[in-house]
């Protein structure tokens, strides 16, 4: 409210000054007083210079004040490999346009002051000057060529698809959400067709006769490992949407009937980004939704839709988490059992593999066996640490390194034999390092034995 009142006062003051100026101008014209006209010129040109100083001060001040919020500055430096290139182009453009802005604004008001109408000064008639025209044509042409060629080069570097990505995921925009799809452990997205789309049953139109679809799962957020090259296949089911990951400088239209893509490598984990933000005072305040936490503690990267696609456009948001490779593998492990095929199609009337045993089911079974042993070993290690049993801690820590290797095999292999071997090896290792579990209740059996005697 105060700002509005202040703004209105400033407008009224400006109107007042202009009206007084006009009245003076009219009076001098009636009196045919040239000196009065020169005085008015001086006043107006002087006010122009004052305005210029204030205006440029406000521009520079707001730039400094909002630096923390500008992409490419402070906490908003890019969190992806190619993002630094985009930020560089932005900053280069900002530099050139900033310099031109300062020079032109200065010249505009300074010239109005310097060449104001004065006694004894006559304006010269200057139709054109070829040299000057050449300068102001060639200088921007050089700068723009530099910017455009640099921009094209950056675009080509970013968009080139060498097929050497580590992970391919898919994002399908629809009114009003993103359907995300991961390829599962075969690392290949299954085929889909729009004619197969069935509300509630097959949202993406996945073709269940394609075995690549069997392990595809549809999570509610994007989780990616840091430092891995990710290709996102971007599609839309209805209207134009836009796949936008601001912190990674990823932005691409989702077009119905025409898949697009974006390849990027995340470089900053969510945890690192939170730590980065925790150093800033404005992120130290309590969170809006959870007052027990600071704002930086609940920070998450996000996927948004950057195409105004209808009334629910605002709700097209998904959380994006960048994690370490180990955390990513653990997340995949969790998600694997949620494969859309396994949870919704397997064993149903529309299951094309109804009578066939599937390798993925064996793989998941073997993986679960390994996981059980690993959890038992981790629990044993925790207990040994609590009991201050140094020898046991050393033994279990060494064993857990071996367990981790077996677990990784069980989590990633496509070969049932390899998975079965990993499960068998894990069982053997568990036998060697874990205390045998006592199954007979010792006290009771002794009592029973003595009664029998
Ligand atoms: Cu949208």
pLDDT tens by residue, 293-318: 888 999 999 999 999 998 999 999 99
Greatest distance between any 2 Cα atoms in the chain: 138
Average pLDDT, the chain: 85
Within 306-389, residue ranges assigned H as helices are 325-336, 340, 359-386
**How far does residue 259's CA lie from ligand 1's centre (Å)?**
15
**How far does residue 251's CA lie from ligand 1's centre (Å)?**
12
Q: Given a cut of 80, is residue 451 above it in pLDDT?
A: no
Per-residue pLDDT band at 265 (split at 50, 70, 90): very high
The pair of structure tokens assigned to 38 is: 């020169």
Residue 436 CA: distances (Å) to CA of 239, 344, 379, 426:
61, 40, 14, 15
What is the pTM assigned to this prediction? 0.77
Neighbouring residues of the ion ligand 1, judged by CB less than 5 Å: 241, 305, 309, 316
Question: Locate tokens 């002087």: which residue?
Answer: 46
The pair of structure tokens assigned to 30 is: 């009636």
Burial code (b: 16+ CB inside 10 Å, e: under 16) for 35-51 equals eebbebeeebbebbeee
Beta strand 241-245 with 177-181 is: unpaired
Q: What is the pLDDT of residue 251?
A: 93
**How far does residue 397's CA lie from ligand 1's centre (Å)?**
49
pLDDT above 70 covers what percent of the chain? 95
More confident site: 234 or 23: 234
Residue 54 CA: distances (Å) to CA of 8, 47, 138, 166:
18, 11, 32, 53
Q: Given a cut of 90, is residue 243 above it in pLDDT?
A: yes
**How far does residue 170's CA lie from ligand 1's centre (Å)?**
15
**How far does residue 427's CA lie from ligand 1's centre (Å)?**
50
């Amino acid at each position: 409210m105060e700002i509005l009142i202040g703004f209105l006062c400033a407008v009224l003051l400006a109107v007042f000054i202009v009206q007084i100026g006009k009245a003076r101008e009219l009076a001098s014209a009636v009196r045919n007083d040239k000196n009065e006209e020169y005085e008015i010129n001086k006043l107006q040109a002087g006010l122009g210079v004052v305005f210029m100083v204030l205006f440029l001060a406000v521009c520079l001040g707001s730039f400094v004040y909002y630096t923390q919020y500008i992409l490419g500055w402070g906490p908003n430096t890019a969190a992806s490999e190619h993002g630094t290139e985009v930020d560089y182009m932005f900053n280069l453009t900002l530099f050139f346009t900033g310099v031109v802005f300062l020079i032109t604004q200065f010249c505009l008001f300074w010239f109005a002051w310097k060449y104001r109408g004065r006694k004894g000064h006559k304006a010269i008639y200057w139709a054109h000057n070829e040299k000057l025209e050449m300068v102001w044509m060639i200088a921007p042409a050089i700068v723009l060529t530099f910017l455009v060629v640099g921009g094209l080069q950056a675009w080509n570097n970013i968009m080139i698809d060498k097929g050497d990505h580590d992970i391919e995921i898919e994002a399908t925009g629809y009114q009003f959400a993103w359907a995300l799809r991961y390829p599962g452990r075969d690392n290949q997205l299954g085929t889909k067709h729009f004619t197969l789309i069935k509300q509630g049953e097959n949202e993406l139109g996945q073709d269940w006769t394609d075995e690549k679809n069997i392990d595809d799962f549809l999570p509610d957020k994007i989780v990616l490992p840091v430092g891995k090259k990710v290709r996102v296949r971007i599609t839309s089911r209805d209207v134009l949407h836009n796949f936008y990951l601001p912190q990674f400088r990823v932005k691409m239209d989702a077009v119905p009937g025409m898949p697009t893509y974006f390849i990027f490598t995340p470089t900053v984990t969510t945890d690192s980004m939170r730590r980065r933000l925790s150093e800033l005072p404005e992120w130290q305040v309590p969170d809006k939704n959870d007052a027990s936490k600071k704002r930086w503690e609940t920070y998450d990267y996000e996927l948004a839709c950057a195409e105004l696609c209808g009334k629910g456009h605002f709700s097209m948001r998904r959380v994006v988490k960048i994690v370490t490779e180990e955390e990513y593998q653990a997340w995949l492990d969790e998600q694997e059992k949620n494969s859309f095929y396994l949870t919704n199609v397997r064993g149903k009337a529309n299951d094309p593999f109804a009578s066939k045993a599937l390798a993925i089911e064996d793989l998941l079974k073997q993986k679960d066996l390994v996981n059980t042993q690993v959890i038992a070993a981790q629990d044993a290690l925790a207990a040994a640490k609590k009991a201050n049993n140094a020898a046991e801690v050393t033994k279990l820590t060494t064993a857990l390194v071996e367990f981790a290797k077996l677990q990784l095999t069980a989590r990633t292999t496509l070969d049932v034999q390899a998975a079965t071997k990993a499960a068998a090896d894990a069982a053997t290792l568990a036998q060697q390092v874990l205390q045998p579990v006592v199954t007979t209740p010792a006290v009771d059996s002794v009592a029973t034995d003595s009664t029998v005697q």
